[in-house]
């Protein structure tokens, strides 16, 4: 692996290992495409002694995208379904972090992968310069390395979302919003989170093969 991979890995691991700072929350951010699928025949509801039944045939209803925010120290997550994932959608996510979800924060430290849409420059394509700069000054991006998505705790949260919520037929963006809201609310009430234990020191011991040689 390259020195760039190691740098980004240790940067994220040090971020996770640091003591929580209320004024500088850590928010992991990721996204997932979703195939919208509808029924061709009305399902038969469950009855005493008989489970619900659905027909094996289905109809495709297009695709959607899920942006997922996850703040591990706070046990908070939010799923934002959209029709697509563009730079403009990313910019609106960052604006929502600053003004809606963490208005009290001095700086929001965001862990995310290095997609070409994930840049603060995207803010300038959506908002006037002064507004774009206002938002950008409150965001600090920490990129995971290429092929290092295991470092993003939002990916683990998406795995739980997929198992608990998305394994059913959902045929519209509106239905997707309803289902994901119903999923996230009890998890937020319970402050469910990830207890990350792996540190940069552990990486140097256990992942030494990833480190470049040095003189």
Residue pair 36/172 in contact by the 8 Å Cβ criterion: yes
Distance CA 212, CA 215 (A): 10
**Average of per-residue pLDDT across 144-168:** 92
Could you read off the pLDDT of 89-130 as tens digits, one per residue? 999 999 999 999 999 999 999 999 988 899 999 999 999 999
- Domain that residue 126 falls in: 3-38+58-193
Lowest-confidence range among 12-21, 75-84, 134-143, 167-176?
Answer: 167-176
Residue 198 domain flag: no
Task: State the chain's mean pLDDT as an integer.
Answer: 90
Provide the pLDDT for residue 176.
93
Q: State the burial class of residue 122 (Cβ atoms within 10 Å of its Cβ: 0-12, 13-18, 19+).
A: buried
Provide the pLDDT for residue 21.
95
Percentage of residues of the chain with pLDDT beyond 90 = 74
Distance CA 73, CA 31 (A): 20
Provide the pLDDT for residue 143.
97
Distance CA 206, CA 29 (A): 26
Provide the pLDDT for residue 214.
74
Please count the residues of the chain: 215
Residue 103 domain flag: yes
Residue 147 domain flag: yes
The pLDDT confidence band at residue 215, using thresholds 50, 70 and 90, is: low
Could you read off the pLDDT of 182-195 as tens digits, one per residue? 999 999 999 999 99
Could you read off the pLDDT of 19-76 as tens digits, one per residue? 999 999 999 999 999 988 765 555 556 667 666 555 555 566 588 999 999 999 999 9
Residue 135 domain flag: yes
Residue 209 domain flag: no
pTM comes to 0.87
Residue 204 domain flag: no
Q: In CATH, what number is assigned to the domain containing residue 135?
A: 3.30.420.10
Residue 44 domain flag: no
Provide the pLDDT for residue 62.
85
User: Based on the structure, what is the number of domains in the chain?
Assistant: 1
Q: HSE of 177 in the Cβ direction (CA atoms, 13 Å)? A: 7
Residue 210 domain flag: no
């Amino acid at each position: 692996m390259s020195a760039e991979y190691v740098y980004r890995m240790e940067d994220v691991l040090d971020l996770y290992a640091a003591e929580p700072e209320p004024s500088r929350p850590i928010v992991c951010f990721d996204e997932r495409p979703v195939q919208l699928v509808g029924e061709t025949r009305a399902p038969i509801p469950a009855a005493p002694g008989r489970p619900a039944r659905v027909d094996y045939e289905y109809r495709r209803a297009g695709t959607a995208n899920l942006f997922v925010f996850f703040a591990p120290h706070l046990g908070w997550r939010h799923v934002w379904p959209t029709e697509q994932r563009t730079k403009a959608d990313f910019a609106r996510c960052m604006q929502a972090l600053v003004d809606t979800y963490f208005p009290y924060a001095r700086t929001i430290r965001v862990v995310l992968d290095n997609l070409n849409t994930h840049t603060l420059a995207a803010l300038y394509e959506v908002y006037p310069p002064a507004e774009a700069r206002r938002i950008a000054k409150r965001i600090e991006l920490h990129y995971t390395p290429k092929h290092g998505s295991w470092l993003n705790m939002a990916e683990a949260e998406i795995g739980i979302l997929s198992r608990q919520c998305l394994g059913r037929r959902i045929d519209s963006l509106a239905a997707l919003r309803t289902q994901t809201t119903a999923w996230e609310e009890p998890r937020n009430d319970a402050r469910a989170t990830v207890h990350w234990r792996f540190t940069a020191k552990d990486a140097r011991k256990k992942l030494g093969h990833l480190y470049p040689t040095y003189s």
